[in-house]
Amino acid sequence: MRILFDHGTPNGLGRTFPAHTVTTAQAQGWDRLSNGDLLKEAEANGFDLLTTTDRRIRYQQNLSGRRIALIVLTGSTKWTRVQLHFQDIRAAVESVAPGGYYEVPISF
């Protein structure tokens, strides 16, 4: 699976997905794109999943008919907190379907 991390997703999280190809929007040169354009570019370039911390994306974008899945990390993005939720995040990555949406709450 090809996974794209939006700018708010902690980069260290990529190490928890050794069986997947993980890159960042910044590395792709897409870090300044709007959510809609980011989703279009990601899909056009074969990404299967976008991981973000932008909770508004669900309401800003029509996700029906999309091939790319979304996982949104809600709550804290502090690395020490995110690390406590690796299992939940991995489970979401493994279970989310194309065009699907899943939120992983990260407690403070």
Residues of the chain scoring pLDDT < 50 = none
Count the domains in the chain.
1
Note the pLDDT of residue 53.
92
Return the ∠ at Cα 108 (arms to 8 and 76), rounded to 5°.
Answer: 5
Q: What are phi and psi of 25, to 5 degrees?
A: -60, -35
Note the pLDDT of residue 59.
76
First to last CA, the chain: 29
Structural domain for 47, as ranges = 2-106
Please give the Cα distance from 92 to 86 (Å, whole number).
Answer: 10
Place of tokens 């979401």: 92
Note the pLDDT of residue 20.
95
DSSP state of 2: E
Encoded amino acid at 7, one letter: H
Q: pTM above 0.75? A: yes
Note the pLDDT of residue 77.
87
Note the pLDDT of residue 55.
86
Note the pLDDT of residue 84.
94
